[in-house]
Structure 1
């Protein structure tokens, strides 16, 4: 069986002409680190679910990407993170939303899938569950990046001038990270 792995950096829309060579190198390095983390799992015969979690954790820990450390702010100036995992072989899923202190939301989403009868936990209930099971927590300052804060300030200015959703420039649209893997046993996650 063949293994396969793909990931998405979710750093927003980045145009080459708007990046310095140094910035492009940093993004590529972060993507390679995440890809290497997941690939190592698959090469060792690991499960697809473990590989996607390894990829996403690497991206959540890198402030360049819109997940975990470096998440986009909401209009209230807070970072409320979410994550979801899906295990195709078990036809199971777990997700979390409204997190502000969980270091790796993807691991909490996995724990929801594997350790609860729920599909989704959110906000205080999700963070309470994270504490109960020993998930690493961080203070809000850990997740802050000046780049994301400045993006919020630009968005607030745009809205104050009467801008609507249809006026959002492409380079300000933010997507989150993602990964998909196929392991040696044909399991997809």
Structure 2
């Protein structure tokens, strides 16, 4: 069986002309880490769902990407995150929107998919699912 994985570095309009060579290399290294995380799961016989989650967690943990810690702030200066995940094998899906707090929104989306009858949850309901799943939350500064 052959395996493959593809990722992208998030939404937005970061232009190459606006990046220093060091910033570009740091972003490429972040992409390599995310690819490696997903690849390692697949090469060890893990599921595509686990590989996707592992790769996205790496991107969410890297402040250079518009995901998780690096997400763009709202006009009010707050961080509201969205994430979605889908299992192609059974078409199960989960998503969260407008959430603040979980370190890895993709894991909150996965918890919605795996522990509720819903596909999309927002706000307090999504946060309750994330807490019930034991997910890590950012601490208040």
* TM-score > 0.5, shorter chain as reference: yes
Once superposed, what is the RMSD of the aligned Cα atoms?
Answer: 1.3
Q: Which has the higher contact order (CA 8 A, sep 6+)?
A: 1
Residues 111 and 129, structure 2, Cα contact 8 Å, conserved in 1: no
Residues 11 and 66, structure 2, Cα contact 8 Å, conserved in 1: yes
Change (3 A) 1:118 1:11: closer
Residues 95 and 120, structure 1, Cα contact 8 Å, conserved in 2: yes
Structure 2: unaligned runs, 5 residues or longer: none
Q: For the residues of structure 2 that align with 1:15 and 1:97, how far apart are their CA atoms? A: 27
Larger radius of gyration: 1
Change (3 A) 1:36 1:10: same
CA deviations 1:134-184 (Å, max 9, x no partner) are 11001365xxxxxxxxxxxxxxxxxxxxxxxxxxxxxxxxxxxxxxxxxxx
Return the offset for 1:87: 0.6
Q: For the residues of structure 1 that align with 2:53 and 2:140, how far apart are their CA atoms? A: 22
Q: Which residue number in structure 1 is paired with residue 24 of structure 2?
A: 24
* TM value normalised by structure 1: 0.71
Q: Which residue number in structure 1 is paired with residue 85 of structure 2?
A: 85
Return the offset for 1:27: 0.4
Q: Which residue number in structure 2 is paired with residue 137 of structure 1?
A: 137
1:39-54 map, 5 Å? 39-54=39-54
Return the offset for 1:11: 5.6
Structure 1: unaligned runs, 5 residues or longer: 142-189
* TM value normalised by structure 2: 0.94
Q: For the residues of structure 1 that align with 2:72 and 2:15, how far apart are their CA atoms? A: 18
Q: For the residues of structure 2 that align with 1:60 and 1:67, how far apart are their CA atoms? A: 5
Deviating 4+ runs (over 6 angstroms):
none
Change (3 A) 1:140 1:35: farther
1:1-189 map, 5 Å? 1-10=1-10, 12-139=12-139
Across the two proteins, how many residue pairs are aligned to each other? Answer: 141
Q: For the residues of structure 2 that align with 1:12 and 1:112, how far apart are their CA atoms? A: 26
